[in-house]
Amino acid sequence: LLLMFSKVNMTTMMILEKHSSIGMIAFAKWIGTCFINNSFRCCSTSNEANSTVQLADVQEYDDTGQKLEIEQLDISRMSRWHRMKVHCECPPMDMFRWQRTRKALRKRYAMYGRASGVDPGLLWPSSAELVEQQLEDDLWRPKLLETIEMEKAEMERKQQDRKNRLHAIELNLKNYGKLLKEYESRIQKKNAEALAVKLEKERKIREIQDFLGYAADPTDPKVLEYLEKKKQEEKKAAKLAKKKAMETKLIAQVQSNMKN
């Protein structure tokens, strides 16, 4: 009926738009709008009533019907073991391999007690483990008396080291003048050697410049060739000098034997 009346109302509005004035057209539109809004309000009210009835039926069904299991209603996707842990229930012991370890069994027994199903005798170490633990304690955890003796020995060693150091300082103070002279002589010798090396280097550089006729780079192949040649000449000269010294020594020995 509402649909038919709305169609009639729309037809009436179209006729009024063609044959009536502007005021009548506006009045007809207002009447039609009010009627349509009232019809929608009635429809929505009826829908809300129907939904209320349906919810009441569902609630009544849930209350009176058979209860569903937690696994069917749970949307967390947790396993049964984790769900029991969340709800502070004692989970079974045959789901994970690590649950059979002694550490896990101790924790389980401490948390759930006898309800855990753990044999308390399994929580204690065996005889072999006790022996091994005792050996480890003797090796890495010494007893109190042994620790005291070790500390005493360490203190005595430190005191003896301090006495030895003080004695060495006293001796050095007595020989301060002699030690200072030795130190200065070592420094002078070191400086003299460094100066000799520097002079020898400068001499070689001047010699190379005189040989080539210009200031050459030390990495120049000609410089390296000259240094190698000079090195061979020095070796040869040292060898000849050594040979001459041996000959002189031998001649001196022969002459001394002839005199005797």
pLDDT at 116 over 90: no
Q: What angle do CA 79, 82, 86 make, to 5 degrees?
A: 135
Higher pLDDT, 174 or 71: 174
- Can you tell me the mean pLDDT for 67-73? 58
Higher pLDDT, 121 or 55: 121
Report the pLDDT value the prediction gives residue 122, as an integer from 0 to 100.
85
The whole-angstrom separation of Cα 237 and Cα 242 is 9
- Can you tell me the mean pLDDT for 17-43? 48
The answer to whether the CB of 195 falls within 8 A of the CB of 205 is no
The whole-angstrom separation of Cα 249 and Cα 255 is 10
pLDDT at 43 over 60: no
For residue 28, CA distances in Å to 13, 23, 24, 34, 103 come to 6, 9, 6, 10, 87
Q: What residue spans define the domains of the chain?
A: 80-125, 162-216, 220-259
* Sequence-distant (≥ 6) Cβ neighbours of residue 113 within 8 angstroms: none
pLDDT at 161 over 90: yes
Tell me if residue 65 falls in helix, strand or coil.
coil
